[in-house]
Amino acid sequence: MTIRWPCEVLVPRDVAFDIAPRSLAGPASVNGATQVVSSDAGIWKATYGSIVVNNRNAVLAHRAISALLEGRLGSIVVPLCRGYQPVPEGAVAAGLYDQVPHSDDTLFDDGTGYVSGVIDVTAAAPAALRSTSMTVTVTYAGDIQPGQHFSLGERLYRIRTYDPETGTMTFRPPLREAALAGDRLEFDDPVCRMRLASDDGMDLQLSLRRFGTPTVQFIEDV
């Protein structure tokens, strides 16, 4: 199972997720013209900037992730926040995102409870590998708009267009894996499976051996 970045312990102040196009360019001609050929595939790159490392748990968690990843060898699930997603109006106020305890009102040993998804969007029909569009069924969601994200499994996608009349959605990058009818599009907690962009990406410099604000860069694990 792929490990997940613990945003509750290692909180990034600055977050960037972008699709880096894959392009090739030949040498420039005598008049300076250059031909560039780009693939539609693209690859995700992400940056967690100024991560708050200010206590024992954060320091040890950062070191543990570094040891588990072993530079660019290991992969990690990197989550986005729920901001700007199609959260249904009133869902937060109604407590739909609150953690739920056990039947005896107790929580797990780490103080957390059960959490379930709220936004309910599923694939209405199968979509083939490398597809850039699909038809979806929206059971419960707010306004779905271009620029929002969803994930299928551990693969992340960004919406380009959405037609609520037909349920047709286009997105980038192309599907990394085929989707089946009924597969849930994860809007509440979109994630992307990634690797460190460099082998020294988890280096940690601590001020007075106690505090740090490292920046970690990731690239999609394709």
Reported as a single tens digit per residue, the pLDDT across 60-114 is 999 999 999 999 999 999 999 888 999 998 887 877 777 666 565 665 555 554 5
What pLDDT, on a 0 to 100 scale, did the predictor assign at position 180? 97
Query: Measured in whole angstroms, how far is the alpha carbon of residue 193 from the centre of its chain?
Result: 7
| Residue 15 · residue 39 · CB < 8 Å | no
pLDDT per position as a tens digit, 127-142: 999 999 999 999 999 9
The domain 1-23+38-80+190-222: what is its CATH number?
3.30.200.190
Q: Do 68 and 77 form a contact (C-beta atoms < 8 A)?
A: no
Which range (31-40, 167-176, 177-186) has the least confidence?
31-40
Domain boundaries, the chain: 1-23+38-80+190-222
